[in-house]
Structure 1
Amino acid sequence: MRCTATFSFLNSKLLGMKLIKLFGIAVLALGVTMTSCSIEDGKDGVDGIDGADGKDGLNGADGQDGADGQDGEPGQNGADGLDGVGLEELAKYGFLTLELSGTRPDNIPFEDSAIYRYSPIDPDDFDEYNIVIITQNGNDTQYFFNFRRFLSSPEGTYTINYIDWELTVVNLGEETENIESVVFDFKHGVVGDDYKYFMLDDTYESGGVGVSEMTFTDLTFDPNAGNHLTFSYAFSVAAANNGSGNDLNVSGTVDINLLELIQP
């Protein structure tokens, strides 16, 4: 009995020592674990190679159009432009009419008429193409009229058709009135109904070869109404002296206002 009790006591003591030893091992293991958690992290490894891009997905269906926005407010009106020079302004100095009759170069009879409205626009041309010069010679007063009108535009760059007059009259409107000299120069295209044409580019002078007597009717000049000159005229030209190659009849009217240079 004593031996059994002694053995039991020893077993209990040994068991207690084992428990103490196991508890110590557990505490040591826990300390190691906690110590390992405080160790610094290692360096990052090299990044891996990017994977291949995936295939594009299918396009989505178009969305519905949005509603139209409201109209904006009207903008302000722009400034007015400068007024242009109208043809009426260039025709304000009056006109010449021309009537022709005769035979064309191909021996077909013709009649033609035109109105020449446009005076030159260059002031340097006024003394040649739209001027009156009045000169006192003793008891006589001489009037020299020099004027030109174009058919379709106000100067010769854009049209070749014109009529030019140089007319010298002494004592105009008096009993002793005398037409001293006349020069009629013109360039005019005659176009037929058959779309054929010919040109007259001639100069006719009073008393000239092949030119009949030039007749003037209703010749008046009023210096107090804008140097207003009016008259009617008529003459004929022999075949050898005009561009048609046949006898030519020329007539028409003049109704113009002329300029007068202010003398210093």
Structure 2
Amino acid sequence: MKKKYLKVILICTLGILLSNCEDGEIGTAGENGINGTNGINGENGAGFDELVKYGSIKLTLAGTKPDNVTFTETSEFKYAPVFANHNTFLKKNSNIYFNFSRFLSSPDDVFQGSKLYFFLEVKNMEGQDQTLDFLGFDINEYAIISNNLTFHEINQTFKISLPFDNNRTDIKNFNLTNYSFNDQTNNLIFSFSFIVSGDQNSTKNDLSVSGEVNVVILENINPKRG
């Protein structure tokens, strides 16, 4: 009988002791573990390779926005247009005419309108006195976005006869260098740079424009559409 009473007393004592226990303070957090390895890159989406296989145009703009915020923006326009007629060259007599554009993002969406367009005319293509005769250049819907959460959109057309007229006041310090065209691979390469005066662009400040063209262009064999 005594053993039973002792068991009851022991159980009651343990219950009282346990009920009076409090949780201890939470310990300090341990150190963060090492980051895991990066996952494998996914495959390009359908049609991606077709759009970027014709080369790209790198563009750098530097200047001051209308709110006096300075900027330098460099982007690569690497998406060829869906319509082949906007990525062509045409040989006519001894001259050659290049007509091409590149988009900043996928061009098969009406909201992806940021692009560059070039028209370049080269005279006497086969002769020793080959000359670059005219350059037309468009910047279309290109947004300059600043850290102060403002943006300014550039829409500009440039028409430049060559050799360049150094007396022009709207465009200064024009250079077109490193021109080459491989008629076996249809690879066109050249670099360009110039400054647009403030009264001739929407920033209202001098705008520095430079870039590198390295594209592959399709030959237009139908002169009636050239």
TM-score (norm 2): 0.70
3-state DSSP of counterpart to 1:88: helix
3-state DSSP of counterpart to 1:214: strand
**Alpha-carbon shift at residue 263 of structure 1 (Å):** 4.1
Percent of aligned pairs with the same amino acid = 31
Provide the aligned length of Structure 1 versus Structure 2.
Answer: 173
Match of 2:66 among 62, 81, 105: 105
3-state DSSP of counterpart to 2:171: coil
* 8 Å contact from structure 1 (residues 116, 163) kept in 2: yes
* 8 Å contact from structure 1 (residues 170, 179) kept in 2: yes
**Residue 249 (structure 1) aligns with:** 208
**Alpha-carbon shift at residue 85 of structure 1 (Å):** 2.6
Match of 1:158 among 100, 105, 111: 111
* 8 Å contact from structure 1 (residues 162, 186) kept in 2: yes
**Alpha-carbon shift at residue 88 of structure 1 (Å):** 2.1
**Residue 93 (structure 1) aligns with:** 54
- Greater RCO (CA < 8 Å, at least 6 residues apart): 2
User: What is the alpha-carbon root mean square deviation over aligned residues?
Assistant: 2.1
User: Structure 2: 5+ residue runs without aligned partners?
Assistant: 1-43, 162-167
Return closer, same or farther for 1:103/1:84 CA change in 2, 3 Å cut-off: closer
**Residue 3 (structure 2) aligns with:** none
**Alpha-carbon shift at residue 246 of structure 1 (Å):** 0.6
**Residue 154 (structure 2) aligns with:** 200
Q: Which has the larger radius of gyration?
A: 1
Tell me the distance in 2 between the aligned counterparts of 1:252 and 1:112. 11
2:90 counterpart of 1:130? no
User: Structure 1: 5+ residue runs without aligned partners?
Assistant: 1-82
**Alpha-carbon shift at residue 199 of structure 1 (Å):** 0.5
Match of 2:194 among 235, 245, 262: 235
